[in-house]
Structure 1
Amino acid sequence: MTPKSLFGLILTFIVVLVGWDSFYIVTQIERAVVLRFGQLVAPDVQPGLHIKAPLIDKVIKFDARLLTLDAPPERFLTQEKKALIVDSYVKWRIKDVGKFYRSTAGSVLQANRLLSQRVESGLRNRVGRLSLQEVVSGKRDELMEELTKVLNKFTEENYGIRVNDLRVKRIDLPPQVSDSVFERMATEREKEAQELRSQGNEQAEITRATADRERRVLLAEAYREAEKIRGEGDAKAAAIYASAYNQDPEFYAFYRSLHAYKESFKENNGMMILEPDSDFFKYLKKAYRQPKSPANSSE
């Protein structure tokens, strides 16, 4: 290869290299700035194909999408001097690329550090003006909206950053306080359970007493009804006996005597001590003294 050809090849390579370095592309998810000898010459390059001075200009690109700052949990004091551990996060994006580059030197880490400081300061000031109940439930949303507006105004003016949202992920008590709080909660729940048990036992005693009283009343009424029915039965039985006795008193007396004999002598080892002329053996004596019939005498 001749020197002339080599020179031409080198020149062509340099031209291609310079031409390649003269163009750059910024995508839809990017923003860029152009530096010339360290000085900012194009503070906000929009998406598209652009031309720059080769070997002199330097293009720095930034992510234009929504970014997330997960702030570390911080310890804050409420209005009544109660400590809380607040864990929050911030959604932000670059609005003014030139201002962002000048304030953070183009470092997202530096931007997150500055944002984290502002969030920590804003939360500390606002939590200190609220009670524990307001922070946990009532005014937390209002607190976040107010702080987001204030933070966004400051960051847009100073850092070229737009804060889209600021939210609290979790609010906890410090570990040294949580145990005592949980113990107090358990004690209160145990006290409430004891009260409920006492009320239940009291109601149970009332129910038992009512049931026992109703049982006694029902038994008394049943006994009264039974005695009434039994008396009516005895009266009817007595009337029947009297009617039967009046129809044939002799037969009725005989029947009663037979029944008495049966009951008296149904046990083999039974013993009775009576006088010989007792009325108990009246019908036995009559049977013994009865004269024999003609049929019996012929036998």
Structure 2
Amino acid sequence: MSDENVFDMNKNSSNKDIKRYTKIGITILGFIVLVFLIISSMFVVKEGEYKVVRQFGEVIRYEKDPGLKFRVPILHSVTTLPNKKIVYDVTEKEINTLDKKRMIIDNYAVWEITDPAAMIANARTEINAESRMGEFIFSVIRSELGAMNYDEIINEEGSTRGDLNSRVTKRVNDLLSRDNYGIQVDDVRIKRTDLPDENEQSVFQRMISERESKAQEYLSQGEAEKNRIIAQTDRDVKEMLSKANAEAEEIRAQGETEAAKIYNNSFKQDEDFYQLYRTLESYKKTIDGETTIILPQGSPYTDLLLGYFE
């Protein structure tokens, strides 16, 4: 029998195995690709963020509600942007005041993205958006403070600037809205206003001199008020003493009058006793430890001293 007519069973079986394994491999590969495509089509939106879906660089939609979302793999790309308040520390810069003083202004802004599509289209990135916002803030602050004198800026009591922060915030938002950057500034605050180092010392000395002058003015006013109070108190004391002395004199006069009445009544009741009393009272005034008295015999004093009574 010819070899050409012999059927090779082993070769036929090997071909079948290769086809079967190839089919299984293709199936597994297809499954893997399918899983990859499904996973690639999904993305998660977290709390406090936007997911911006772009196709060939153009924004087609954005998601802001937290949860699982879908896109077309490969065709669509996803960019993440913050959906919350952001604090931007603006770089400090130097400005000139109305009275030609140089000042260093340091401020910050609180802002947020309100339209992610507009922000991506016009600012491209968050960094670019902050950069443009910082330029607008500095421009507005320079314009506002450039119309004021240095003393008005640093002196809150005598300042005519009013609510500067609110005015700056409004003007910056107007500029951002004009250029459609899709962001909004909620608040602009000036943290610090300093002088350049070369001017700082001279201004400090002037401020010290002004404060010392003001302190001296307060001291002078206090001294004048003290003298006024002392003078008024002295007048009040003199009036009170004068009134008290007058009342005392009046009471003393009344007492002397009453005493005189008592003396008179006593004299009328017993003239001898009253005479004796008056004589003894005169002894108190005329006789002391060094007094020498020479009395003639038979005088009333002698009789009283010797105990001679009629």
TM-score (norm 1): 0.69
CA contact (8 A) 1:23 1:51 kept: yes
Instruction: State the match for 1:295 in structure 2.
Output: none
Shift of the 277–69 alpha-carbon distance from structure 1 to 2, 3 Å rule, reads same
Instruction: Name the % identity.
Output: 14
- For residues 113 and 237 of structure 1, do their structure 2 counterparts lie closer, same or farther at Cα, with a shift above 3 Å needed? same
One of 188, 194, 202 as aligned partner of 1:167: 188
**Is the 2:295–2:302 contact (alpha carbons within 8 Å) kept by the matching residues of 1?**
no
Structure 2 matches for 1:1-299, cutoff 5 A?
Answer: 4=22, 5-26=24-45, 29-36=49-56, 40-47=57-64, 49-54=69-74, 57-81=76-100, 86-106=105-125, 108-131=126-149, 133=152, 136=156, 138-141=160-163, 143-158=164-179, 160-170=181-191, 172=193, 174=195, 176=201, 177=203, 180-181=206-207, 184-245=210-271, 255=276, 272-276=293-297, 278-282=299-303
Amino acid at match of 1:42: V
The alpha-carbon deviation at position 192 of structure 1 amounts to 1.3
**2:50/2:62 contact within 8 Å kept:** no
CA distance in 2 between partners of 1:195 and 1:229 (Å): 50
How far apart are the structure 1 equivalents of 2:171 and 2:308? 133
Structure 2: how far apart are the matches of 1:286 and 1:197? 75
2-structure distance, mates of 1:272, 1:94: 124
Aligned residue identity for 2:142: R
Rounded to whole Å, the distance in 2 between the matches of 1:208 and 1:148 is 61
Q: Is the 8 A contact 1:44 1:98 kept in 2?
A: yes
CA distance in 1, matches of 2:115, 2:304: 140
Structure 1 residue 215: Cα displacement:
0.1
What is the one-letter code of the residue matched to 1:92? Answer: W
Task: For 1:198 and 1:161, locate their aligned partners in 2 and report how far apart those are by CA, in whole Å.
Answer: 64
Q: Distance in 2 between matches of 1:186 and 1:244?
A: 85
The TM-score normalised by the length of structure 2 is 0.67
Q: Can you list the C-alpha shifts for 1:223-280, whole angstroms capped at 9, x where unaligned?
A: 24303421441354145325522xxx5x876x569959x979x999985433345443
Change in 2 beyond 3 A, CA 1:168/1:281:
same
User: How far apart are the structure 2 equivalents of 1:124 and 1:178?
Assistant: 23
Secondary structure of 2:107's partner? Answer: strand
8 Å Cα contact 2:53/2:76 also seen in 1: no
Cα drift, residue 31 of structure 1: 3.5
What is the CA–CA distance in structure 2 between the aligned matches of 1:283 and 1:139, rounded to whole Å? 105
Cα–Cα, structure 1 residues 128 and 184, in superposed 2: closer, same or farther, change >3 Å?
same
- C-alpha deviation, 1:13, in angstroms: 1.9
Q: Paired residues, what number?
A: 277
Structure 1 residues 184 and 44, CA gap change in structure 2 (3 angstroms): farther
2:90–2:134 Cα contact (<8 Å) kept = yes
Q: Structure 1 112/252 Cα, relative in aligned 2: closer, same or farther at 3 Å?
A: closer
Mapped to 1, the partners of 2:254 and 2:114 lie a distance apart of 103
Change (3 A) 1:8 1:210: same
Q: Do the aligned residues in 2 keep the contact of 1:44 with 1:96 (CA within 8 Å)? A: no
RMSD: 4.2
Q: What secondary structure does 2:112 align onto?
A: strand
Separation of aligned partners in 2, 1:120 and 1:235: 102
Cα deviation 1:71-116 (Å, max 9, x = unaligned): 245554443445655543333333443443354442x233222211
